[in-house]
Amino acid sequence: MRSNQQSPRPLNVRQRAFAGEYGLDGNATQAAIRAGYSKRTAYAQGQRLLKHAEVRRFVDAEAIRIAKRVDLTKERLIGEIWEMFLDAKAKDQKGAAARLGDLMCKLNGWGVQNHTVRVIRNMADLTDAELQALIDSPEPEGSGNVRH
C-alpha cells in the first residue's frame, strides 16, 4: 500500500501518449485509440484517463505549453471567435452563430449587467447594435465569478 505522502507514480507510455493525443482534438475516445487502447474499450478508457489526476495535469500543462508556443491569448481567441461569429451570422448560419456567441459569452463572463442576469437565448438573434452594446458595457465587479 502506498503512503499518501509518496509522490505520484509517473505516467506509463500509453497514459502519456493518450495525454498528448487528447491535446490534438479534445476527443478522448479517438485519443485512446491513437494511444494504443483497443477500439472496443476506447470510450471507457478515455473517460477513465481524463479523471486520472496525473494525466489531467499532463494534459493541462501541455495545453499551456502549446498556447504559449502559438502566442494564444484570451484576447486573440475571443477576436478569432468574434470573426467566425460575424461570418456565420452574415451567412445566416444561426446554429453556428449561436454556439460561437455562447462561447464568446462564456470566455468574456458576459451575461450580467448592473448585477442583473440577462438571459440570451440565441446570440444570432441579437442585432448588431445589441451585440455592440454587450461588448461596450462595463463589466460589473464580481461578474467573472458568474456561472453560465
Q: Are 78 and 101 in a shared domain?
A: yes
pLDDT tens digits for range 85-104: 889 888 988 888 888 877 77
- Among residues 6, 32, 7, the alpha carbon closest in space to that of 18 is found at 32
* Residues of the domain holding 39: 13-69
Question: What per-residue confidence (pLDDT) applies to 144?
Answer: 45
* Whole-number pLDDT of residue 123: 62
pLDDT in tens, 100-139: 877 777 777 665 444 344 555 566 666 777 777 766 665 5
Domain boundary among 32, 49, 69: 69
Helix or strand run (H / E) with residue 113: strand 112-113
pTM: 0.47
**What DSSP element (H or E) covers 116?**
strand 116-117
Count the helices and strands in the chain (H runs, E runs): 7, 2
- Return the amino acid letter for 72: L
**Assigned domain for 4 exists:** no
Q: Is the pLDDT of residue 68 over 80?
A: no
Which among 22, 38, 69 is the end of a domain?
69
